[in-house]
A and B are shown apart, each in its own frame.
Chain A
Amino acid sequence: MKIGLVTDSTADIPDELVHRYGIRVVPALVNIGDQSFEDGTGISREEFYTRLPRLDPPPTTSAPSVGSFQERYENLFKSGVSEIVSIHAANTLSGIFNGARLAAESFQRRIHVIDSGQLTLGIGFQALAAAEAIASGALVEEVLARISSIRQRAHVAALLDTLEYMRRSGRVSWTRAVVGGILNIKPLVELRDGVVHRLGQARTRGQGIQRLTEALQAWGPVERLAVLHTNAEAAARQLLEELKPKLAVPPLVVNVTTAIGAHVGPNGLGFAAVTSG
């Protein structure tokens, strides 16, 4: 019995792992002016983030069409899988999960569409755990249990360079209440169960990075870790070097995909982690 695994581009799974496990990734869409790009492949992250501050009107994002999910599912079934696990960005923050759910309804066969409650490697780590379980021959129930277990231990936190992009996105209600930008502040946010919480704020990047690291330590021992950034590779590498001695697992370093970056802005830093269970 073969199980197929589908996710979307906001899971930020590195290409190498996507290929290793044969994960099907459905890209979200990033719209710049009249042009629409496939998230992750249509425009390079470097180019996107460099242009982002000057883009007027600012870019928008769209969920993949229901049809693009149907196509993936269909191809998988044709290739011989009997069940599909399809895991996606938090339903509270994006329409991707809903698109997948609608697509799944048109199939008679079993498709398990899962709301990860997360973004970026917060989804990615759930999907990777599923991929590993599938590769080791697990039953679908075991795969789903594995995802559920990871989901409960998944943390994502980030230091944004400004609140502006998140406010503009209109997806996080409290950002509207924060009276706009009198002082330039760098917000610290945490994503839990599909809700973006305000972890605090910092005036300088130095203070912010320190607080971010404190947040990571407060989570406790981790079994999976990714250092996330939005086009701040050097800062992310430096953070990685500082953390390495304290870490049991080698972390991934990920330049966050454009569909998320459009809503958080460039120069952000963050962590995605799964704590030891």
Chain B
Amino acid sequence: MNPDTQARLERFKATPIDGQALKKLVEAGLTWLRANQQTVNSLNVFPVPDGDTGTNMVLTMQAAYNEIGNLGHRSIGQMAASVSQGALMGARGNSGVILSQLWRGFARGLHGQDVLDGPGFVKALAEARDTAYKGVVRPVEGTILTVAKDIAAAAEHALKETDDPFEILARIIPAADASVQHTPELLPVLKQAGVVDSGGKGLFFIYEGMLRYVYGEALDAPLVSIQPLSAMNLENSMEAVEPGQDYEVVVDFHPANSLDLQRFYGDLEEMGTSIQVGEGEGMYRMHIHVPTEKRYQPIDYIMGIGTITKVAIENLLAQMDDISRKTGGEKLTLATIEPGQIAVVAVSPGPGISRVFASLGVAAIVEGGQTMNPSTQEILNAFENLPTDKVIILPNNKNIILASQQAKDVTVKQVHIVPSRTIPQGLSAMMHLNPEGDVEKVAGKMIKSIDDVATGEITVATRSVEIDGVEVETGQVIVLLNGKLVLAAVTIEEALLGMLEKAGAVESELITLFYGQDLTATEANRLADLVRKTYPGQEIEIQDGGQPHYQFIVAVE
């Protein structure tokens, strides 16, 4: 340890760890997690664009930090309770919900404490573990839960030798790291996909960020990193357009000499944000967001260090406008709910799908889905002001069920969750809505109806992987049938027909195709005609779903 770090550590040790100190630590954990967000996002088991764990955890931590940013509590117990509240309401995705439960337990462990000491820290970590395990109906090992458990165990072990909280923090980092590395041994699907658990990795970054802050190490700049091209997450960076950074520039190039990454990042940081560098297929790809006046700078700069093969510049603001026009252009007519009636809240990934849910009598829509998981707060807001106490939530995505559960836990309304994992399942449930019915019975019928329909989802693989015996290469069209990867194909046409065959569509009555925003109506109709020809005995319906990333969501029933 160098003398500067040593001196800083001594200063920390001399100061009590109170509420204000916790605020700094939370901020550090958030900052470091955000710096490593893409790394966590890339640890996706399925090669599909779905709820990114890194993004979900960052947004959850951000909500926690927003809650405490202006608080002046000196007591660590009070501050932790506020962190917990913020995380609870801001939780997105399953990993975000579990993270919020960890904070809830952590706060419970510190209840009534003014400052943090070694035994208090260890107790809080143990409470965090217990609360998180209880927050999941069927805990699965090899996930963030296991990492939380191993962290608590390492802390208990460390307490035998030291009661210095900083020393305990320093010792749990390697334990967390080892635990993350071990996750594929516990969860076969991780091993198959060749990744470690993303939620566990995110948790590791939060604690590591805290320790880096204590040591005075850099948090804001990401470690110089280079990722496989397939892991670059260019599509989703739309969600993170910072003000002033109006243009997205992507440059493919061959460096003249071997790339000095440290310098490369350093120079790019002078120009803009959201920097990502990928390597693969014998070339490099650079991604950056820059202000209007600097839109050509990255190109000129890279021309100076190598040969450019391709440049793409996009106006992010215009794109955002486009998207909001698409989604906000038409007003939805939602069901009017009378007091005492049942109100259904549905999560929908696209404007077309929202319209369909509205036409079936949904009272509120929460926008979100595969790549944008709504927070507990957003789900709660959707129904808190409805003039009824009887609420049914259709999450329509496996990664939104827990956040829905959390929304149920924080409201006084009588909420039932129908654990629909796909859009077709949610629509199938809507067939049983009787607004005047007994909410318990209606929810029960809806839950039963989920299995009445088979769901096919068609998207483009975000990386190469072999999973469930299907070999997939980046860029291939892939098919998920009821959440399971069943097919990789070259064209959408091939994928669609292959999916229908595997779903046993010939035995079905009705095939409904929801086409996504990436397909034109003409192309979608051409494919629908093809399906009609192949399945003359079935009724075929085609709808503009408007969902991102998924060319088709298909219901077979």
**Known A200-B434, A203-B557, A204-B510: A179·B428 in contact at CB below 8 Å:** no
B353-361, B481-489, B523-531: which lies at the A interface?
A: B353-361
B512 near A179 with CB under 8 A, answer no
Shortest A261–chain B CB gap in Å is 22
Q: Is A1's CB within 8 Å of the partner chain B? A: no
* Complex contacts, B358 vs chain A, CB 8 Å: 179
Which chain A residues numbered 162 to 211 have a C-beta less than 8 Å away from chain B?
177-185, 197-207
Interface residues on A, range: 20 to 34
B510 near A183 with CB under 8 A, answer no
Residues of B within 8 A of A (CB): 333, 335-336, 355-356, 358-361, 427-428, 430-434, 436, 452-453, 508-510, 512, 539, 541, 543, 555, 557
Give the one of B360, B433, B453 with max A CB within 10 A: B360
Shortest A158–chain B CB gap in Å is 15
* Complex contacts, A178 vs chain B, CB 8 Å: 359, 361
Q: In the complex, which of the residues A177, A179, A200, A206 contacts B431, with contact meaning CB atoms closer than 8 Å? A: A200
Could you pull out 25 A-B pairs where Cβ atoms are within 8 angstroms?
A: A177-B336, A180-B359, A181-B359, A183-B356, A183-B360, A183-B512, A183-B541, A185-B360, A185-B431, A197-B436, A201-B360, A201-B430, A201-B431, A201-B433, A203-B510, A203-B555, A203-B557, A204-B508, A204-B509, A204-B510, A204-B539, A204-B557, A205-B509, A206-B509, A207-B452
Residues of A within 8 A of B (CB): 177-185, 197-207
A92 to B428, CA, bound (A): 32
* Complex contacts, B541 vs chain A, CB 8 Å: 183-184
A182 near B356 with CB under 8 A, answer yes
* Complex contacts, A206 vs chain B, CB 8 Å: 509
* Complex contacts, B543 vs chain A, CB 8 Å: 182-183
* Complex contacts, B539 vs chain A, CB 8 Å: 184, 204
A-B contacts besides A202-B431, A204-B539, 8 pairs, CB < 8 Å: A177-B335, A178-B359, A179-B358, A181-B359, A185-B431, A198-B434, A200-B431, A203-B512
A198 to B361, CA, bound (A): 12
Q: Count how many pairs of residues, one from A and one from B, have CB atoms less than 8 Å apart in the complex.
A: 55
* Complex contacts, A205 vs chain B, CB 8 Å: 509
A206 to B556, CA, bound (A): 13
* Complex contacts, A185 vs chain B, CB 8 Å: 360, 431
A41 to B131, CA, bound (A): 73
* Complex contacts, B361 vs chain A, CB 8 Å: 178
Shortest A218–chain B CB gap in Å is 11
A205 to B509, CA, bound (A): 8
**Known A179-B333, A182-B359: A207·B557 in contact at CB below 8 Å:** yes
A203 near B355 with CB under 8 A, answer no
B427 near A203 with CB under 8 A, answer yes
A173 to B365, CA, bound (A): 25
A180 to B359, CA, bound (A): 7
**Whose C-beta in chain A lies nearest to the C-beta of B358?**
A179
* Complex contacts, A181 vs chain B, CB 8 Å: 359
* Complex contacts, B431 vs chain A, CB 8 Å: 185, 200-203, 207
* Complex contacts, B555 vs chain A, CB 8 Å: 203
A205 to B539, CA, bound (A): 11
A215 to B361, CA, bound (A): 21
A93 to B230, CA, bound (A): 63
A185 to B539, CA, bound (A): 12
A181 to B358, CA, bound (A): 11
